Chain A
Amino acid sequence: MLKVENLSVYYNKALAIDNISLEIKKDEAVCVLGSNGAGKTSLLNAIFNTVHKEGRVIFNSVDISKMPTHKIADMGMVYVPDKRTVFNELSVYENLEVAAHKIIKRKGKREFAKNLDAIFDQFGNLYEKRSLKAGYLSGGEQQMLSVAQGLIRSPVMFVMDEPTAGLSPKLMDVVFDFISFMRTQHITILIVEQNVNKTLKATDRAYIMEVGKIVDSGFSKDLLDSESIKKAYLGG
């Protein structure tokens, strides 16, 4: 479904990603792990063309390397960056309305209402706060709203950058529950996370990045047992 070939990212002259390649198949859940500064976020930004890059990105057999970000999003890819995607001055309902604007324009308000009901079934607290400005939500609720904004667009692939950053352990569990839910909906997932243990348990495969390079990759369950991973990321 998604192929990244010989990707490099530079910020001025500083090399953030050094010629990496990876592939994600349909219905797979893949994670990218690594310490701060490994280039994980740059990888996601490069896929969505929000940073200057070299190399190729292919999604569903279409070369999206030079495609504008909004057109990549139109292809059914959702990206929830670490800075979240909420619009502070709009209400929760309006945030979802804006996120689903293409569905409203193409399929009408009825389809949007159907998707909205499904979202509010999943995110009960967002329903209670649907008239509240998103800026007044807690950090966890904003994260939920970002995920809900992505889900309401009926994506084929969901990309998340550290969705549990700054969340309480209870809310982290909620995020991972949603990852499990998305898998039941056959949504392909690419996730960048710091929470190595839970992420490896929730995904099929993993890539390990260090200073802009992929240094290891494999099935998540194998990496979970790997001594080097335990030593580097699981404290033991």
Chain B
Amino acid sequence: MLGGIIEFLLLKQSLPIGISLLISATVVSLIAVLIHRLFIAKTKNATELSLIIMTIGISITIRGIVGILVDKNAHPVKPFLSFSSVSLFNLVFSSQYVIVIFSTLVLAFLLYFYLKKTLSGKIMQAVSMNSLAARLFGIDVGLVQMSSFAISGFIGALAGAIIAPISFVQYDMGIMFGLKGFAACVVGGFGNNNGALIGGLIIGVAESLSAGYISSSYKDLIAFLIMILVLFVKPSGLFASKDIERI
């Protein structure tokens, strides 16, 4: 949400799209770092659950602050390309979808490359798997966690800014995207970035089909029905990475 809002405010000042994207992503990335330093890193005896609850609380607070400082109305944002629609195989869709698909693929590739091919990406994975061992190898776990917050803030802001021309920007625009992102992760399988990507595609296509063939009123319902179905059939997700642990 913050990425979309900041981008909207910057575009209103007639800044170019590229610059406004970069600024909004950087600002949100810094806010994410601040949240990590002020709250996450300072929590004593933190458990995963307590941290999840804390971040939900922080997101509600940020939403409230934005609602007060900006406003609660939905604001339109112009598509990034000069032409508003694209026609492909007799299908006509907003040109912004091209940007969304292209950006998703680029970001997914960059994230994959960083995590799998670079040493600092492997260190980030190592910290998530065994933080004590990481500390014993001289890794500053706090710094790595802070970097992961910075990266997720940057990517989240870009996503919010890029989707803004499709969804409009509003102080609470992130709630449904967050929930559907969670559903996509559940469908694809936690711990598998590519799985989450495919999960998102499955949910998105199912939503559109249901909107076309049944009713757009049930669009959101379909996403969560698929999630519940997957949880019933394969709780670890369709493409879950196998958790390997020797006992």
- B107 in the interface, Cβ–Cβ < 8 Å? no
With an 8 A cutoff between CB atoms, is A131 at the interface? no
Contacts of A74 in B (CB 8 A): 138
A197 in contact (CB, < 8 A):
no
User: Shortest CB–CB separation between residue A232 and chain B, in angstroms?
Assistant: 30
Closest B residue to A153 by beta carbon equals B137
In the complex, whether B130 has a CB less than 8 A from a CB of chain A is: yes
Which of B136, B241, B243 contacts A48 (CB under 8 A)?
A: B136
Q: Do residues A135 and B139 form an inter-chain contact, with CB atoms below 8 A?
A: no
CB distance from A133 to the nearest CB of B (A): 6
CB-CB < 8 A to A127: which residues of B?
none
Contact A88 B136 (CB under 8 A): no
Whether A70 lies near B140 (C-beta < 8 A) is yes
A50 within 8 A of B: yes
Q: Contact between B137 and A89 (Cβ–Cβ < 8 Å)?
A: no
Question: CB-nearest residue of chain B relative to A104?
Answer: B119
Asked if residues B119 and A85 are in contact (CB atoms below 8 Å), the reply is no
As a 0/1 sequence over residues 18 to 31 of chain B, the CB contacts with chain A under 8 angstroms (1 = contact) are 00000000000000
Residues of B contacting A133 with CB < 8 Å?
244
Size range of the interface on A?
35 or more
Complex formed: what's the CA distance from A88 to B130 in Å? Answer: 9
Contact A85 B246 (CB under 8 A): no
Q: Which of B123, B129, B130, B135 contacts A101 (CB 8 A)?
A: B123
Closest to A73 in B: B138
Shortest Cβ distance from residue A116 to the other chain B in the assembled complex, whole angstroms: 14
How many whole Å from B124's CB to the nearest CB in chain A?
10
| In the assembled complex, A87 has its CB within 8 A of some CB on chain B | yes
A86 within 8 A of B: yes
| Interface residue? A19 (CB, 8 A) | no
Decide yes or no whether B133 CB sits under 8 A from chain A: yes
In this complex, the member of B125, B141, B246 whose beta carbon has the largest number of chain A beta carbons within 10 angstroms is B246
Q: How large is the interface on B (under 10, 10 to 19, 20 to 34, 35 or more residues)?
A: 20 to 34
B38 to chain A, nearest CB (A): 19
Task: Establish whether residues A97 and B246, one from each chain, have CB atoms under 8 Å apart when the complex forms.
Answer: no
List the A side residues contacting B234 at CB < 8 Å: none
Say whether, besides A97-B119, A97-B122, A104-B119, A89 and B244 are in contact (CB < 8 Å).
yes
Whether the Cβ atoms of A87 and B130 lie closer than 8 Å is: yes
Query: Which positions 80-108 of chain B face chain A at CB distance < 8 Å?
Result: none
Report A-chain residues with C-beta under 8 Å of the C-beta of B129: 87-90
CB of B245 within 8 A of chain A? yes
Interface pair A81/B245, CB less than 8 Å apart: no
When distances are taken between beta carbons in the complex, the residues of chain B under 8 Å from A88 are 129-130, 243-246
On whether A135 and B245 interact (CB within 8 A), knowing A73-B136, A98-B137, A99-B137, the answer reads yes
Contacting A at CB under 8 A, from B132-172, are 132-141
Set B135, B141, B244: member contacting A135, Cβ < 8 A = B244
Cβ < 8 Å to A, chain B residues 232-247: 241, 243-246
B123 to A98, Cβ gap below 8 A?
A: yes
Which residues 140-165 of A sit at the B interface, judged by CB distance below 8 A? 142, 149, 153
Given contacts A87-B126, A90-B129, contact A73 B135 (CB under 8 A): yes
Q: Is the CB of A87 within 8 A of B125?
A: yes
Determine if A69 is an interface residue (Cβ-Cβ < 8 Å): yes
Residues of B within 8 A of A153 (CB): 137-138
Shortest CB-to-CB span from B126 to chain A, Å, is 5
Cβ of A37 under 8 Å from chain B: no
Rounded to whole Å, the gap between the CB of B61 and the closest CB of chain A is: 30
Residues A65-117 near B (CB distance < 8 A):
68-71, 73-74, 78-79, 81, 83-90, 94, 97-99, 101-102, 104-105
The reply on A139 being an interface residue by CB < 8 A is yes
Say which residue of A85, A94, A105, A142 sits within 8 Å of B136 (CB atoms): A85
Q: Is the CB of A136 within 8 A of B244?
A: yes
> A139 contacts which chain B residues (CB < 8 A)?
246
Whether the pair B119, A69 counts as a contact (CB closer than 8 A) is: no
**With A83-B132, A89-B125, A90-B125 as contacts: A70 and B139 at CB distance below 8 Å:** yes
B137 touches A94 (CB 8 A): no
Q: A98-B123, A105-B119, A142-B246 are in contact. List 8 more A-B contacts (CB 8 A).
A: A50-B135, A70-B137, A81-B133, A85-B136, A87-B126, A90-B125, A98-B134, A101-B139
8 of the cross-chain contacts (CB-CB < 8 Å) are A50-B132, A69-B135, A74-B138, A86-B130, A88-B130, A88-B245, A98-B137, A137-B246
Interface residues of B (CB under 8 A from A): 119, 122-123, 125-126, 129-130, 132-141, 241, 243-246
